[in-house]
A and B are shown apart, each in its own frame.
Chain A
């Protein structure tokens, strides 16, 4: 697995080293070129000085006389320099005393051109020679010499050679210095790169440590924002927000799981208790019949809880594909209320309907029925005896609204935030066996699938109102209408 640190070090280290080596090499070559040029210029000047001093011998025509300056520089010693003059046919016309009988390596030189070459000197040292062509000067007074200055016969080739140590030694020192300096520089640069990369990646290590912690652990913000680089600070902030949402979801999930366990544990305990006692202790036929009725009721309740939980899970898993059709919301309310009317009468409830006739909406009838039945069932179950229930349906250009209100003596405004939580009930004892506490959660899940909304509000201190809003596009226009209050 590659690491950012490794990648950065790999991508920064070698290029820096190559850059340093290339730069130092270029510097060395440039200095060497300058010194070579300077050395060659000195050598050429020396050759020209020698050529300027060569004369025809007054006594012996066609013999050359060494220049006066040649006596010291070209004498044989430890650092001897050499020159040799050759005729056009290559024969040696004159050579320095340092050469003795040896020859300098011949080098072709074009007229008016100066040629340079590295050579091995006769004494074995590495040297450099220069070759120029020239015509020896003659005495202007010596007219007896029958020679033309333009004649090729009198054109001579002068080769001057000297040791390279004066050039090579400084170059060697320079090269050594540059090599050592480069190595030190490269090592230092690599060290700086490693430290800089490590330091720059420390925030990422802090983030990695934070990310390794359990997001379900609600012990504060895991990703440090303070001290983070500008590029990472917003990421940490977003991650903290994400972790916060995850923790909330985990807590909700844990609470939900605990609630499910509790909701199922109670009927299981009931079932076990009644069946164990019925099996172990003699009972009358009536008692046995009651036990069987209780067992059936318990199994139905558990089936209802499980079915509702599955419906909730399906809604939360994603928006299912649903068929939409025209539904009369008012007729649906009347149909469901018909099944609850008896209970309302028994509890002496005052029920008032104020509904559009009809209220046609484009919706899925199954899911819409789930919402409507839960709202009405909730109102009928939790409205205290002698209380009041109001159901109102209104249609506007942009939406159809259904409001179900009921008397709620024990509810407070703080309870509104929990109304749609699964298994939430005001009574912690949850002694109402007919209600699972899932109705409003399921209604809200259905609303999200239908594209509708549902909210709980308390218009008065002892009244709870559920407002179901189905946006138009899913609602059709209809005639308005209202029903007079009626006593159930």
Chain B
């Protein structure tokens, strides 16, 4: 999942980006509202974490702009403005959630996860497909009841494919949602990650959960495993 973080406090920006990346998110961060708008217009994001008082362009204007352009990306406002009027204004401007600073990082993380679940209409964080169980809240994966360890990016790849199950997902789409600006993905990085993931979750069964559609991409098909 790819998150856009627009926060003018450099320290909060670095800490939140680091925490989100540690949880498998691809994070693009900026401290300027105008640059944030540019990123939101050019990259596909699953969630945008938005401060309100920003240089370049304030958060509410940013929000109105992307909504006017028809973007439905979930936005969570992260701000020091804590009055009821501020919250109402932010939510009515198009935000999906509102979190006041100072905040607990775990709460921000949980809210980001909730927004992603809402985006994919997955209210239950524990998803089961035969022997495979994925807890998208705890970021844990079980095969045959046994936990398996996945690096953050492989987990992110699996979660993305599961949340888009039944649909062919192209390599470029995977790259744009799994890798942020800090990573220069090589041409076969997605193929290598899929190969590694298959070895861990298929456990030698005949068919794989992740099917290749030659020339198009990959599809998560729980019925084939």
Contact = CB atoms under 8 A, between A and B. Distances in A.
A277 B102 contact: no
A269 B53 contact: no
A111 interface: no
B154 interface: no
B122 to A, nearest CB: 25
A270 B51 CA distance: 13
A19 to B, nearest CB: 66
Given A269-B101, A269-B103, A270-B9, A277 B58 contact: no
A272 B11 CA distance: 10
A-B pairs, 6 with minimum CB distance: A269-B101, A269-B102, A281-B22, A273-B15, A277-B19, A270-B11
A69 B186 CA distance: 162
Contacts of B14: 274, 290
Contacts, number: 77
Interface residues of A, number: 28
A262 interface: yes
Interface of B: 8-12, 14-16, 18-19, 22, 31, 53-55, 58, 80, 101-106
Contacts of B16: 273, 277
A265 interface: yes
A280 B105 contact: yes
A298 interface: yes
Contacts of A429: 8, 53-55, 58
A427 B12 contact: no
A282 B23 CA distance: 11
Query: Which of A262, A269, A270, A271 has the largest count of B CB atoms less than 10 A from its CB?
Result: A269
Interface string A276-311: 111011110001001100100010000000000000
A262 B103 CA distance: 14
B55 A427 contact: yes
A273 B11 contact: yes
B104 A272 contact: yes
Contact of A277 (B8, B9, B15, B54): B15
A268 interface: yes
A271 B10 CA distance: 12
Given A281-B19, A287-B18, A290-B14, 6 more contacts: A268-B101, A269-B101, A270-B15, A273-B16, A280-B19, A294-B11
Contacts of A278: 15
Interface in A247-279: 262, 265-266, 268-274, 276-278
A269 B55 contact: no
Contacts of A430: 53
A434 to B, nearest CB: 12
Contacts of B9: 266, 269-270, 431, 433
A265 B86 CA distance: 16
A428 interface: yes
Contact of A269 (B10, B12, B31, B54): B12
A433 to B, nearest CB: 8
Looking at A268, A276, A283, A428, the one whose CB has the most chain B CB atoms below 10 A away is A276
A274 B55 contact: no
A277 B105 contact: yes
B50 to A, nearest CB: 13
Contact of A428 (B31, B53, B103): B53
Contacts of A268: 101-102
22 contacts: A265-B80, A269-B9, A269-B102, A269-B103, A270-B12, A272-B104, A273-B15, A273-B102, A273-B103, A274-B11, A276-B106, A277-B15, A277-B16, A277-B18, A277-B105, A281-B18, A281-B22, A427-B55, A428-B58, A429-B53, A429-B55, A429-B58
Contact of B103 (A272, A283, A287, A427): A272
Nearest to B18: A277
Nearest to A430: B53
Interface centre among A266, A429, A430 (most CB of B within 10 A): A429
Nearest to A294: B11
A265 B102 contact: yes
A278 B104 CA distance: 13
B18 A283 contact: yes
B31 A274 contact: no
A153 B209 CA distance: 169
Nearest to A279: B105
Contacts of B18: 277, 281, 283, 287
B6 to A, nearest CB: 11
Given A294-B11, A427-B55, A265 B101 contact: yes
A262 B80 contact: yes
B168 to A, nearest CB: 34
Interface string A416-445: 000000000001111101000000000000
Nearest to B51: A429
Nearest to B54: A429
Given A298-B11, A431-B55, A276 B80 contact: no
A276 B15 CA distance: 9
Interface in A50-103: none
Nearest to A290: B14
A269 B105 contact: no
A277 B16 CA distance: 7
